[in-house]
Amino acid sequence: MHIRIFGLSCWSSPELTYLFLFTLASLFLVSCEEEEYPDTVVLTEQKLYLSAEVARLSGRVVSSGGSIDDHGFFISESETFNNKQIVSLGNKEGVGRFIGEVNDLKPRTGYFARAFALVKGQTFEGNTVFVKTLTSSILNFSPLFGEGGGELIINGSNFTKETKVFFGGVETEIEDIKFESQIKLKVPPITNDPTPFIKVVVGDTTMTFTTPYEYVVGKWSHESSFVDTNVITEAVSITHQNQFIFGLGKNANEENNPFIWSYNLDMGIWSELAVFDNSETTRAPFSVGNFFGGGGFSLGLTPVFRNSFWQYQNDALQKVGELPFQLRNAIGVKINDQLYVFGGQDISGASRKMYSYDINNNIWQQLTDIPFEADVSYGHFVYKSNIYVVDHFTGDLWEYDYTLRKWSRLIKMPVPVDKNGIYHVVGDKLFFGLFPLKSHLWRLDMETLELRPFNRYPASGGDLTIASFTYGSKIYVLRRKFSSSEEILPMELWSFDPSDF
């Protein structure tokens, strides 16, 4: 019998048989011996999460030559791992994956990281991976305006615990940072800048919003108590230079008031200007610039209209002439050397008539009717030589183009409005509000239509506005207190400076 093994041929014999079996067993033992590995193998796998100050990493112990007394990560700005941070995760039961997190890193900074395991007093390190922390960014803040002490939210990304926020040069305390993307803080008190830019500082990165924060500003000042104890309504209210002229109308007893007073805005002094006889007293005349006229009242069921047209100049009232129309509660506005009078009521009821008056030539002209009903209780003002009227029933803002002599409906007012409020333009800003029994005052940018609240009228919210006007950069309001009793409360003159705080 012949046996061929690995290409060799041998004759069968006991000696050769034993030799063959020994050789085969030896080969079998060699082929079944395990491949040799180091005692402990550690791998650094990947970064799982990065922010401006946090890195979350994963590692793995592939094999271990004994119990793992500690494991974790080394991280350093240097590839040589000098001055490294150690993320220690403690002992570990067996091999497998592990995750560690390192905090308080620098934003926009590169780091080198290695996993490690401590076995029998010997540290085994894995491969090196490179990570770079993220850059912080800002998106927006809200609200865009408010008062000191109010809450403000800044939205962005990758904020750190060391983030700082400044209003101009004033640092404010951060209350909370959520998910590294939202900062909650209290607005610091106003200092010398009512529109500071907000800066967010993260590490060595300073980010500044291009839109400033606006403090709610404006200062109210009590100027004077009215010279008379009577409450006068439906009155003349005009200004000329530093004089505020107020009077006629009716008193609290529904009697015609014959008196007209002047108030020197520089000296703060009330004076009696004139006393009208009964044939000239009037209620609800139009008042515009230093002119007033028309108006009327009722004698029982009979309406009585006045046609007199008056002007204040040289410290006195002068009668200019008679009006070519009869209107009461009409709106009056002045554009350059032209007066415009429209709306109100005539003998037949609500009027849509519109008239212009050339001051230099003393000529009245009737214009095209207005396309809506309005009276002096409707908000009205002039901006860039155009007339604007606010319909408090619909909220519509109407514009009369001075050049085209045409009315058009522009927008809805951005907040609810009411009758008998104030509407005054200072620069490019419309200040309006102080509606009956209300104390709110708003500012509307006539160019951008951005709306801002302003400091509320500080006296009773139950006041009613009797008259309002501007002098210099200030807005003046004559207000009366509302009382549910029969008590007659005096009228008060207040001023509002929109830029003061």
Q: Mind listing the pLDDT tens digit for each residue in 155-194?
A: 999 998 889 999 999 999 999 999 989 999 999 999 889 9
Q: Is the pLDDT of residue 361 over 80?
A: yes
Q: Lowest mean pLDDT of 26-35, 312-321, 465-474, name the range.
A: 26-35
3-state secondary structure of 15: helix
CA-based Rg of the chain, rounded to a whole angstrom?
43
| Cβ–Cβ under 8 Å, residues 417 and 432 | yes
**In which band, very low, low, confident or very high, does the pLDDT at 253 lie, cut at 50, 70 and 90?**
confident
Q: Which residues pair with 200 in a beta bridge?
A: 165, 207
Average pLDDT of the chain to the nearest whole number: 88
Beta-strand ranges (E) seen in 281-405 are 286-288, 291-293, 296-299, 302-305, 308-313, 316-322, 331-335, 338-342, 345-346, 349-350, 354-358, 363-367, 379-383, 386-390, 396-401
Residues 307, 326: Cα–Cα separation, whole Å: 6
Phi, psi (degrees; rounded to nearest 5) at 31: -70, -25
Q: Is the pLDDT of residue 24 over 70?
A: no
What pLDDT does 488 receive? 64
**In which band, very low, low, confident or very high, does the pLDDT at 481 lie, cut at 50, 70 and 90?**
confident
3-state secondary structure of 298: strand
Q: Mind listing the pLDDT tens digit for each residue in 57-108?
A: 999 999 887 889 999 999 999 999 988 999 999 999 889 999 999 988 888 8
pTM for this prediction: 0.75
Q: Mind listing the pLDDT tens digit for each residue in 169-179?
A: 999 999 999 99
Q: Which residue has the higher pLDDT, 56 or 5?
A: 56
The whole-angstrom distance between residue 470's C-alpha and the CA centroid of its chain comes to 26
What would the two tokens of residue 306 be? 């006045």
3-state secondary structure of 81: coil
CA atoms within a 13 Å half-sphere pointing along the CA-CB vector of 168 = 14
Bridge-based pairing state of the strands 243-247 and 236-240? antiparallel
CA atoms within a 13 Å half-sphere pointing along the CA-CB vector of 486 = 1
DSSP-derived secondary structure letter, 284 = S
Rounded percentage of the chain residues whose pLDDT exceeds 70: 90
What pLDDT does 457 receive? 82
Q: In this structure, which amino acid lies at residue 50?
A: L
DSSP-derived secondary structure letter, 256 = B
Q: Which domains does the chain have, with CATH numbers?
A: 41-132 (2.60.40.10), 137-213 (2.60.40.10), 219-497 (2.120.10.80)
Find all residues with CB under 8 Å of 25, minimum gap 6, and list them. Answer: none
Residues 354, 344: Cα–Cα separation, whole Å: 10
31 backbone φψ class: left, alpha, beta (φ>0; ψ -120 to 50): alpha
What pLDDT does 38 receive? 54
What pLDDT does 482 receive? 66
Cβ count near 281 (within 10 Å): 20
3-state secondary structure of 18: helix
**In which band, very low, low, confident or very high, does the pLDDT at 36 lie, cut at 50, 70 and 90?**
very low
Q: Mind listing the pLDDT tens digit for each residue in 241-250?
A: 999 999 999 9
State mean pLDDT over 366-373: 96
Residues 36, 452: Cα–Cα separation, whole Å: 78
